[in-house]
Structure 1
Amino acid sequence: MHVAARRLPTWAWVTGLTSAAIVVVIGLAVQAGSGPKPAALDDRGPASSASDAPRPRKSLSAAGEDAPSKASVPPESGTGRRLVYALEADRVWLVDASDKALRSFTVWPGTMDPEPGEYEAGTRTAATTGSDGVAIEHVVYFAFSGGVNFAFSHASDGASPAPAEGKRTAGVRMPVEDGTALWEFASTGTPVVVVP
Structure 2
Amino acid sequence: MPGISAVIVAGLTAAALATVGFLGHQAAVNVPAELRRPGADAAAAVHKAPRDKDHPTALPARSGRGSRVVYSLDDDRVWLVEDGGKVKRTFGVSPSTVDPAPGTYRVTSRSAAVTGSDGVPVEHVVRFTSVDGTVIGFSAAVDGSAPELDPGERTGGIRETRADGAAMWRFATVGRKVVVIP
Settle same-fold status: TM greater than 0.5.
Answer: yes
Counterpart check, 1:74 vs 2:60: yes
1:51 aligned to which of 29, 32, 38: 38
Contact 2:123 2:140 in 1 (8 A): yes
Deviations 1:70-120 (A, max 9, x none): 511111111111000000000000000010111000000111100000000
Partner of 2:42: none
Contact 2:98 2:131 in 1 (8 A): no
Partner of 1:176: 162
SS in 2 for 1:113: coil
Partner of 1:134: 120
The runs of at least 4 consecutive aligned structure 1 residues that moved more than 3 Å come to: none
Partner of 1:122: 108
Q: What percent of counterpart residues are identical? A: 47
- Offset of residue 130 of structure 1: 0.8
Distance 2:38 2:169 in 1: 26
Amino acid at match of 1:101: V
Partner of 2:153: 167
Partner of 1:95: 81
Unaligned runs of 5+ in 2: 1-36, 40-54
- Offset of residue 165 of structure 1: 3.3
- Offset of residue 157 of structure 1: 1.0
TM-score, structure 2 normalization: 0.69
Distance 1:111 1:144 in 2: 13
Unaligned runs of 5+ in 1: 1-49, 53-68
TM-score, structure 1 normalization: 0.64
Deviations 1:111-143 (A, max 9, x none): 110000000011100000111111000000000
Distance 1:91 1:105 in 2: 6
Distance 1:141 1:80 in 2: 20
Count how many residue pairs are aligned between Structure 1 and Structure 2.
Answer: 131
Amino acid at match of 1:174: E
Distance 1:99 1:193 in 2: 13
Q: Which has the larger radius of gyration?
A: 1
- Offset of residue 51 of structure 1: 2.9
- Offset of residue 163 of structure 1: 2.6
2:137 aligned to which of 130, 146, 151: 151
Deviations 1:15-72 (A, max 9, x none): xxxxxxxxxxxxxxxxxxxxxxxxxxxxxxxxxxx937xxxxxxxxxxxxxxxx7511
